[in-house]
A and B are shown apart, each in its own frame.
Chain A
Amino acid sequence: MERVSRRGFITSAGVGAIGAAALGGAEAETAAATVRAAGEPAPITLRVNGRARALSVLPRTTLLEALHEHLGLAGTKPGCERGECGACTVLVDGQTRYACQMLALEAEGHEVTTIEGLARGEQLSDVQKAFVAEDAMQCGYCTPGQVMAVEGLLRHEKDPSLDEIREGVSGNLCRCGAYAHIFKAAQRAAAARRNGGK
């Protein structure tokens, strides 16, 4: 399907298929290839944490909803559902993304990594261990998103400065204010990773 522009949507409002895609989210420009009527579920296959997961979702369904509600991956948290807080941060092809700002349809064909994908069995990842050691959490609700933001940062920057860390997690709100400990956790995780995962 051709790219659907915002202008195109306005001039063709009411046309079922295009309207359905645009209704699903603000990012109509990047709407997925398969578009159905708004009320009709679409079968999709998501690659989540290395596994193919087949599900059937309404076109409006966000990646956050697909993960949290449909797949039971409840570690990806709804906080605002409008791209303000980062509680739903995941990696899409290794890039940090707000899962609430992406349609599930758009995530087809991409590799999605959630908080559940970091640990090996019950063995926590280096970033998760660093969060434990530095007490980089309070209520814990934003924590999976913070961990994913640090994971995303460290995949691109092996030795981030404090300013880069602050920038790297600045899209993730923590109302309890655990930021100071989150910075320490990021530094600890970076050091552990540089030292060969110890």
Chain B
Amino acid sequence: MTDTRPWTETKVVGTAQPRIDAHERVSGSAVYARDLVLPDMLHAAFARCPHAHARVKKVDVSRALAMPGVRAILTADSPGAKLPFYFTPKGPLSWLFDPHCRHEGEEVAAVAAETIHEARAAAKAIAVEYEELPFVVDFEKALDPGAPALHEGGNRAGEPEKHERGDVAKGFAEAEAVVEMTFRTPCEIHTPMETHGSVVKWEGDRLIIHDTNQGVFDLRSAYAQYFQLPLGNVRVTSQYMGGGFGSKLEPGKYTLAAALLSRQTGRPVKCFLSREETFLCVGNRPPNLLKLKIGAKRDGTLTALQLVGVGTGGAYPEGSDAGYLASDLYLCPNVKIEETNVYINAGKARAFRAPGFPQGAWALEQAMDALALKLGLDPVALRLRNVPKVSQRRGGIPYFSTGLAQCLQDGAKAFGWEEARQRPRGSGPVVRGVGVAAGMWGWDGDPRGTAIVRYVADGSASLTTGASDIGTGTKTWMAMIVAEELGVPVESIHVDNADTDTTPYAVLSGGSQTVHVNSPAVRAAALDVKQQLLEMAAEQLKTDVASLELKDGVIADRSAPDKKVALKDLKPLQEQQTIVGVGRRRPHPKGKVGLPFVAHFAEVEVDTRTGEVRVLRLLGAHDSGRVMNRLTYQNQVFGGMTMGIGFAMTEDRVLDRNTGKMANANWHDYKIPTAKDVPPDFACLPVDLRDTEWNSTGTKGIGEPATIPTAPAIANAVFHATGIRVTETPINPTQMARLLAARKAGR
């Protein structure tokens, strides 16, 4: 079944429902791949390049091979190890073990041993002779004449990303106010709590991969291709996984090395990265330099937007563009965006929660704040003047619904924006301010997938879905949909997920698509079960199926209430014992598009003596369509804003310009937000426009938008408090103290 009407009222969906797997998560009994122990299992570790840029001249494994517990060592020369990595349209740029190491931490060899300590000791004992090469780690210098080239053809990673409409020269000529500013955002690292890794074994020519990832089916395809196996011969699982944020979508060298070592030794192999390794080799949010110019009429109507950007996806191809928001968040007829992506000697970027959007928001939303000041307009009012009804980026396709105005208006009201804006900022050394920033997420997802509901004769049910629950509560809202449609209590619905052997295809859990892509399929599967039950009852009651309804375990005829049958007396159900309902996601409706919108409001306190900034409160107003589960929705919003605090205030990969190596590859020196960095006052305000056209559940997605505008909202609040515009993240005491001192000195 695929076609279903939108909900009007719901009983279960939209309530606050504790997770169906919360017991496992709080009791410690949930088994993550990191916890998995298989009989006779070996442990694997990598030897990695310690230099920023080097060529491997010689690898001598003889001493390592003789060490206690060592069972196998893989190098670039091992049979089957020449597996391609990091693709361009012209082909792969690298290999599992590439003798040309382009960043600190590139994989050179891998060891399997009886214990992890033996594996790590042996990996250290592998003697590698390197020829060190000159390096470049500052992306703003990667295209300088004489900068060391990472790849043949230089450090330009593909053609610049461009978007152009209208005529910006004309637009700026028409403008009555123009702001032009330069912004920088350093590199952010994902650092999920569970490090990256896999437990791999072979069963003959079947490859079994227990993994921590965000999309088992995409990875199955990748590994099947690497080993030239039919899809059915590869099993990938990721039921409990300890966070990803985009960094667990790509094939892992750790998985491939474990698979090769497992095949060679005939034993299962576990390969998990250390915390330090995850800072170097499994992705990051690209750093950007963004030069933004905005022009507007006196009333705030935007006339032109121009963005010139440079960014880096590291040593290998990965988009670093951050221009989407400038092209689509606000109505503007004249837009020109050009972004250059360069290579540097650092780990490759990966998708990171709303790739490009927090960087773009940092620039656009601070520039809008500056523009509002210049025009003498309220920052909320300026934004409201430019709310689009169509996606200009997509050539003018209308949105099904645009909640941007409501997010700004309702958010401002709930936050007490106008009062807070008027309040004195403080006359002492500690000053206060408030700021706002808006955003949207620009991807409408990949609407494919199937869900299967099994309804059991006693009125309980189970659901299978291929989707990963990456901490967002996927399994729980899915159970809520089944409960909604079939009246089964949420707590007696079991959900099996993310196992390519036992669950139907689902797209990856990322890009805020999991809810809006999968929920219609789950709903259709439940309705398929319901239809089958009604048809069984129609036959048994000898009545028309269209007049029957299922309520509280009884199917009854609406026109003749005495014509009814309890499910326990429904003969075909009791005979079959299990009814299987299958639901499929239909494609998006054509001609319009559905995207989530957001506005964040922040209040901060700045100690002008020390440069310390405290976030006092944050409010997130989100148009993400229908709220499926109030509890997990709010958790996503607060979690996204918490990550936004990290982006705004604490996180910054430091590459040592003298060595090209990362100086803070650990959680002590690379600061992510702690419990003391989040405000005591967090508020979540859902804006639901009851979109009935976009899909059958009226959902849009919340994961990415929740983190997009937090940082500029904080920066705008800091400006409001101090009059200091912080254009470069992070807003930490070091930077604030410098800026405050510079102001004092009149610089």
Q: Which A residues fall within an 8 A CB radius of B?
A: 39, 58, 60, 68-69, 72-82, 84-85, 87, 114-116, 118-119, 122, 124, 128, 131-135, 137-144, 147, 162, 165-167, 169-183
Contact = CB atoms under 8 A, between A and B. Distances in A.
Nearest to A87: B193
A170 B674 contact: yes
Q: Which of A132, A141, A166 has the most CB of B within 10 A?
A: A141
Contacts of B639: 138, 176-178
Contact of A180 (B117, B240, B674, B678): B678
A139 B22 contact: no
Contacts of A174: 193, 675
13 contacts: A77-B32, A77-B242, A124-B23, A124-B27, A138-B472, A140-B242, A141-B34, A170-B674, A173-B193, A175-B672, A176-B639, A177-B673, A178-B638
Interface of B: 16, 18-19, 21-32, 34-35, 37, 68, 117, 190-195, 240-243, 245, 274-275, 470-473, 631-632, 634-636, 638-643, 666-668, 672-676, 678, 680, 682
A83 B680 CA distance: 26
B598 to A, nearest CB: 16
Contact of A75 (B27, B274, B275): B27
Nearest to A68: B35
B106 to A, nearest CB: 22
Given A80-B275, A132-B22, A180-B678, A139 B193 contact: yes
Contact of B28 (A60, A115, A178): A115
A72 B634 CA distance: 34
Contacts of A60: 117
Contacts of B275: 79-82, 84-85
A28 to B, nearest CB: 19
A35 B32 CA distance: 34
Contact of A175 (B18, B23, B243, B666): B243
A147 to B, nearest CB: 6
Given A81-B275, A169-B675, A183-B675, A135 B632 contact: yes
A128 B675 contact: no
B44 to A, nearest CB: 15
A80 B667 contact: yes
Interface of chain A, helix or strand or loop or mixed? Answer: loop
Contact of A166 (B35, B642, B672, B676): B676
A35 to B, nearest CB: 18
A170 B675 contact: yes
B31 to A, nearest CB: 7
A141 B28 contact: no
A145 to B, nearest CB: 9
Nearest to B679: A180
B25 A140 contact: yes
Nearest to B18: A132
A77 B473 CA distance: 21
Nearest to B631: A135
A137 B18 contact: no
A138 B137 CA distance: 35
Contacts of B668: 82, 84
Nearest to A144: B28
Contacts of B632: 135
A178 B190 CA distance: 16
Given A85-B193, A173-B667, A177-B678, A137 B25 contact: yes
A138 B675 contact: no
A114 B643 CA distance: 29
Given A139-B192, A141-B193, A180-B678, A114 B28 contact: yes
Contacts of B641: 177
Contact of B26 (A77, A131, A166): A131
B23 A132 contact: yes
Which 3 pairs across A and B sit closest by C-beta, in order of nearness?
A75-B28, A177-B642, A141-B242
Contacts of B32: 74, 77, 141
Contact of A77 (B194, B674, B676): B194
A142 B191 CA distance: 13
Q: Which of B23, B191, B471 has the most CB of A within 10 A?
A: B471
A167 B677 CA distance: 11
Contacts of A170: 674-676
Contact of A116 (B22, B28, B192, B673): B28
B666 A135 contact: no
A177 B28 contact: no
Q: Which of B23, B240, B245 has the most CB of A within 10 A?
A: B23
Nearest to A143: B25
B702 to A, nearest CB: 12
A175 B194 CA distance: 10
A122 B26 CA distance: 11
A68 B28 CA distance: 11
A180 B682 contact: yes
Nearest to B618: A180
Nearest to B275: A80
B666 A144 contact: no
Nearest to A114: B28
B19 A132 contact: yes
Q: Which of A76, A79, A115 has the most CB of B within 10 A?
A: A79
A140 B568 CA distance: 38
Given A140-B242, A177-B678, 6 more contacts: A68-B35, A81-B274, A135-B634, A139-B471, A166-B680, A177-B640
B196 to A, nearest CB: 12
Nearest to B642: A177
Q: Which of B35, B241, B668 has the most CB of A within 10 A?
A: B35
A49 B655 CA distance: 44
Contact of B675 (A80, A85, A116, A179): A179
A84 B26 CA distance: 21
Nearest to B476: A135
B264 to A, nearest CB: 24
A174 B194 CA distance: 11
A131 B194 CA distance: 20
A68 B193 CA distance: 16
A135 B639 CA distance: 12
A58 B117 CA distance: 11
A184 B28 CA distance: 20
Contact of B194 (A84, A139, A144, A173): A139
Contacts of B30: 140
A133 B18 contact: yes
A23 B624 CA distance: 53
A109 to B, nearest CB: 24
B458 to A, nearest CB: 21
Contact of B243 (A139, A172, A180): A139
Q: Which of B21, B30, B240 has the most CB of A within 10 A?
A: B30
Contact of B240 (A140, A142, A166, A175): A140
B676 A173 contact: no
